[in-house]
C-alpha cells in the first residue's frame, strides 16, 4: 500500500473508532469496519502500483478468520450463560440444607446440638474438644480419645460439664491433639444450615450460613 493509501486507510479507521466509541464505548474493529477499510483501500490504490493478488487474498482470509472468531465468541458466551443459569438453579436447591464447612464456630440451635469433623494430620494418642462461650469462657471439654490420621467426627449436646443445657447461640470449637512434641490445634469443620445463596457476576456461588456468615461453595466439604 502506498503512503497516500496508508494515510487514507488510517483516516477511515480513525473515523470508525470515533463513531464506535460514541455509540458503545468499544474501540474494537469489527468485520463490517474491516470490509469497509479493505474496499476503501482497493478504491484508493495507486494505479501505477496495484495491489498484489496474493496480498488481496491474504486480506480476504483475514476477514474470514475475523468473522469466524466473532461467531465463536458468541457461541462461547451463550454456553457460559447457560452454565451460569444451571449453576444458579443448582445453588438455589441448597437453601434449607445442611453443609459441612471449615469453621471454628458452631451455632447451637433449637435442636441443642453441634456436630462436625476434625482434621487429624497424623495418628495421636488423644484428641480433646473444648467448647467456649461467646465471651470466651470454657464451658465444656470432651475427650475424644485416640485417633488415626484422617477425619474424626464429633458431637456436642449443648450442655456444660454439670449437665446444664446452655442457651442457643454461637460457640467456639477448639480441637487439640497430643503429640510427642506437644499439643497441636487441629482444623475443624462444623455443620451449618444454608439460609440463602448469592450468585456473583463472575458466576461464583456464595452460601449464606445461619449465624455463621458467608462461605464460597467451593469451600464446602459435604452437603447433607
Q: Are residues 111 and 171 in the same domain?
A: yes
Length of the chain: 224
Number of domains present in the structure of the chain: 2
pLDDT by residue (tens digit) across 106-150? 999 877 899 999 999 999 999 999 999 988 899 999 999 999 999
**Quick check: is 112 in a domain?**
yes
Distance of alpha carbon 31 from alpha carbon 107, whole angstroms: 58
In this prediction, residues 146-168 reach a mean pLDDT of 93
Distance of alpha carbon 54 from alpha carbon 71, whole angstroms: 26
- Full residue range of the structural domain in which residue 7 is found: 3-92
Q: Are residues 88 and 169 in the same domain?
A: no
**Quick check: is 185 in a domain?**
yes
Model confidence at 32, in pLDDT bands (50, 70, 90)?
low
The three cell numbers of residue 77 are 458466551
Q: Are residues 106 and 180 in the same domain?
A: yes
Q: Are residues 26 and 69 in the same domain?
A: yes
Distance of alpha carbon 141 from alpha carbon 160, whole angstroms: 8
Q: What is the CA radius of gyration of the chain?
A: 32
Whether the per-residue pLDDT at 7 is higher than 80: the answer is: no
Whether the per-residue pLDDT at 181 is higher than 60: the answer is: yes
DSSP state of 48: T
Q: What is the CATH number of the domain that holds 141?
A: 2.60.40.4070
Amino acid at each position: 500500500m502506498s503512503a497516500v493509501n496508508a494515510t487514507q486507510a488510517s483516516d477511515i479507521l480513525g473515523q470508525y473508532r470515533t463513531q464506535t466509541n460514541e455509540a458503545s464505548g468499544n474501540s474494537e474493529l469489527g468485520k463490517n469496519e474491516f470490509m469497509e477499510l479493505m474496499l476503501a483501500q482497493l478504491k484508493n490504490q495507486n494505479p501505477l502500483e496495484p495491489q498484489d493478488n496474493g496480498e488481496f487474498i491474504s486480506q480476504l482470509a483475514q476477514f474470514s478468520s475475523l468473522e469466524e472468531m466473532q461467531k465463536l465468541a458468541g457461541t462461547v458466551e451463550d454456553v457460559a450463560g447457560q452454565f451460569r443459569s444451571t449453576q444458579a438453579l443448582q445453588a438455589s436447591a441448597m437453601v434449607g440444607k445442611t453443609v459441612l464447612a471449615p469453621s471454628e464456630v458452631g451455632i447451637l440451635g433449637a435442636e441443642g446440638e453441634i456436630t462436625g469433623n476434625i482434621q487429624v494430620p497424623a495418628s495421636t494418642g488423644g484428641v480433646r474438644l473444648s467448647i467456649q462461650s461467646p465471651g470466651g469462657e470454657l464451658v465444656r471439654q470432651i475427650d475424644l480419645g485416640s485417633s488415626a490420621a484422617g477425619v474424626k467426627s464429633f458431637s456436642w449436646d449443648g450442655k456444660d460439664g454439670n449437665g446444664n443445657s446452655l442457651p442457643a447461640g454461637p460457640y467456639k470449637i477448639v480441637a487439640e491433639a497430643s503429640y510427642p512434641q506437644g499439643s497441636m490445634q487441629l482444623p475443624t469443620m462444623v455443620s451449618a444450615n444454608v439460609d440463602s445463596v448469592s450468585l456473583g457476576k463472575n458466576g461464583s456461588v456464595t452460601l449464606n450460613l445461619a449465624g455463621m456468615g458467608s462461605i464460597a461453595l467451593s469451600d464446602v466439604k459435604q452437603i447433607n
